[in-house]
Amino acid sequence: MSFIVDAARRRQLDEEPSQAATWAYSQMRNRQRRLWMAVGLLTLIAVALTGTLLLRWVSARETSAVATSVDSGSPVPQEVVSSVPAPAVAEAVTPAETVADVPYYQPIESDAPDEEIFRTPVPLDAAPKAIAQELLRFQYSSHLYSTESDGRSMSVNGKRVREGDAIDHWSVDEITESGAIWDNGEILVEVNVLDLWN
């Protein structure tokens, strides 16, 4: 029996592979070839990108070295100066303002009266008692804040108001995230609407 099995195995080994097996083998070889080509191409791209980044880094270091040398007053090597673009060297050579040249106080130039320039809103609890009582009479039923001033509004005493609108002798100077800044012509008062919500 083993003689027959051995003969069958020898015959099978001596036969040429089938056409399907040959096609499958060639397809496998083609896939391997394409894979190695893709790996090689990606390696070339990675090397090119790394080289470009290294060149930029080296040129940036040379530019900063020239700027540092010019600032410290030490001589700059000629090969470094020739490798740096002309505008960068020209900018580094221009003298910078010293602290003594800049005035400590720069007055605001405006045609507006002084009290309008320096007016800052005060919180409701820091406002005079009579003014605080006037503003506490307002009843707030809605408050809408937006980053754009056109989208801001409030409901005060049942009336929809926007920035610039007035109720009695108070006008809405600004609608803030948490409330509003009211103006009576003399003082700006910031009211937190969320604390007074009705």
State the Cα–Cα distance between residues 120 and 190, nearest whole angstrom. 10
β partners of residue 140: 156
State the Cα–Cα distance between residues 100 and 22, nearest whole angstrom. 87
| SS3 call for 125 | helix
| SS3 call for 49 | helix
Type of residue found at 22: T
**Greatest CA separation for the chain:** 122
State the Cα–Cα distance between residues 182 and 175, nearest whole angstrom. 9
pTM metric for this prediction? 0.41
Q: 181 and 190 in contact (C-beta within 8 Å)?
A: yes
Closest CA to 145 of 110, 119, 115, 181: 181
The mean predicted confidence, pLDDT, of the chain is: 75
pLDDT digits (tens, 9 = 90+) for 17-46: 667 777 888 888 889 999 999 999 999 999
Q: What's the distance, Cα to Cα, between the start and end of the chain in Å? A: 104
pLDDT digits (tens), the chain, 198 positions? 566 767 667 666 665 566 777 788 888 888 999 999 999 999 999 999 999 999 888 888 877 766 555 555 555 555 555 555 555 444 444 454 444 444 444 445 556 655 555 678 888 888 888 888 888 888 888 888 888 888 899 888 889 999 989 888 889 989 888 889 989 888 888 988 877 765
Residue with tokens 């900018």: 91
